[in-house]
Structure 1
Amino acid sequence: MTDTTTTADSEASPATGSPVVDGVLDLRPPAESVKRELCHIGLEWSSTDADGTEAWRDYQRGLLATFPQSGGEATLTDIKTNISQTLTLAQLKQVTRVDTMTAAD
């Protein structure tokens, strides 16, 4: 993987300043980011509010995650029960499964 730098909005850009390195355009979120961890647990981007708060969802499991533009933590919510938990990036990295009223193993 190529070296990347992280900008204030938590998006990655190649250290060379070019979006293409060795013919590869890497559109993945930075390794140390809330976005990367939400992808790992199966959520997909859904929307961004006017204030920059992002919403990511998994409709099959009834799971919603929201996080501010700073991206330091995310709130995961079971949309059927409205039970939520706010996790830091370090805590998110520990998550391997999220059980909801819609889907649990």
Structure 2
Amino acid sequence: MLEFVVSFQVADALEQPFPDEQFDLVWSMESGEHMPDKMKFVSELARVAAPGGIIAIVTWCHRDLLPSEKSLRPDEVSLLKRICDAYYLPAWCSAADYVKIAESLSLQVDI
């Protein structure tokens, strides 16, 4: 029979207290939307992931922009601002933005 050891620790996701390359699986569930610095957030996840490890990010995002778009529509910006203001959230990004961040960190992306 397999045994697993599980522990929980409260820490700053942007300054994690774990050593480099510590975990085979790094799972982030609905926390990216709370991070003011998405690049730092993903960088920390990558830092604590072991070589060949898996990083899973499940987070609220706004839609990906079309190639012809430079930004979200004003009504979308307004709605996101209302949500962010109500829940004290920093700006959101798209899934495509997370992919760009991951690729800039030389991470292999699998969606």
User: Normalising TM by the smaller chain, what interval?
Assistant: under 0.3
Structure with the bigger RCO (C-alpha within 8 Å, sep 6+) is 2
Could you state the TM-score of these two structures normalised by the residue count of structure 2? 0.23
In our comparison, the structure showing a higher alpha carbon Rg is 2
Q: Which structure features the higher share of helix residues?
A: 2
Q: Which structure features the higher share of strand residues?
A: 1
Could you state the TM-score of these two structures normalised by the residue count of structure 1? 0.24
